[in-house]
Structure 1
Amino acid sequence: MDIKVFLSGGMNESNWQQEVIDFVGKDGFIYFNPREHSLLNPSEYTMWDLFYVKNCDVIFAYMQKDNPSGFGLTLEIGYAAALGKQIILIDEKSASDKIFEQKFKIVRESSSVVFDNFSDGLTFLKKLQNGITSL
């Protein structure tokens, strides 16, 4: 049975979502990638995002240090936590922004597992593929 992963986080030029897919691979995974829906209307992309948060198994949430707000990621993690979803959070921003860190603690505490760097989060997600890590 494939693990359905929602990719939550910034939509900047880095295209980190594709890095996740390339590193982890598609064998055993189905990805819900908001970068691919091409929706511009906030009510439409919010509905799309929340629909796929509801229908995924795992949220892979990446709070990059240059993400200006993280509001969308915060909404998606909150909704996922309320639904009892497993949440992998990579929080790179808190280490460099102490005010943000203080306010983001509730999001970190709502997550199943938290990493401070992208590489560790990728490695953890990949372990799910082989059943090495149980959540």
Structure 2
Amino acid sequence: MNIKVFLSGGMNESNWQQEVINLVGKDGYVYFNPREHLLSKSNEYTMWDLFYVKNCDVVFAYMEKDNPSGFGLTLEIGYAAAMGKRIILVDEKSSFDNKFEQKFKIVRESSSIVFDNFSAGINFLKNLRNGISTL
């Protein structure tokens, strides 16, 4: 059985979503990558995102330290949490921005597990397939 993963987070130049796919691999995983839908109207991409959050097994959410807001990620985590989805949050921004950290605590608390760096989140996601990591 494949683990269906929704990739939640910023859409900046880093293309972190492809990095997740490359590092974790496709064997045993199916990815729902918002970067690939190419929708530009907010009502369309919001519907797409929420549809795939609903249909995933795990949300891998990445709050990069240079993400200007995290509004979309916050919506997706809240929706996923309300549906009882497993949420892996990588929050790099809170350790650099105290004001952000205070406001983002509710998102961290809504997640199943939180990491402060990308590599740790990737390793956890990789190990889900092997039954080593559990949520």
5+ residue gaps, structure 1: none
Q: Map of 1:5-84 to 2, 5 A cutoff?
A: 5-84=5-84
Gaps of 5+ in 2: none
Query: Once the 2 structures are TM-superposed, how far is the Cα of residue 16 of structure 1 from its aligned partner?
Result: 0.3
- C-alpha distance in structure 2 between counterparts of 1:58 and 1:85, whole Å: 6
Q: Hey, what's the Cα distance between the residues in 1 that align with 2:49 and 2:100? A: 24
The alignment's TM-score, normalised by the length of structure 1, stands at 0.99
**3-state SS, counterpart of residue 100 of structure 1:** helix
- SS of residue paired to 1:87: strand
How far apart are the structure 2 equivalents of 1:132 and 1:26? 18
Equivalent position amino acid for 1:116 in 2: D
Q: Distance in 1 between matches of 2:96 and 2:8?
A: 21
**Percent identity of equivalent pairs:** 80
Aligned length: 135
Say which SS state the counterpart of residue 68 (structure 2) adopts: coil
Q: In structure 2, how many angstroms separate the alpha carbons of the residues matched to 1:26 and 1:10?
A: 21
1:3-30 CA distance string (max 9 Å, x none): 0000000000000000000000000000
Cα deviation 1:101-120 (Å, max 9, x = unaligned): 00000000000000000010
- Per-residue displacement from partner, 1:23-74 (whole Å, max 9, x unpaired)? 0000000000000000000000000000000000000000000000000000
Is residue 105 from structure 1 mapped to residue 99 from structure 2 by the alignment? no
* 1:92 aligned partner, one-letter code: E
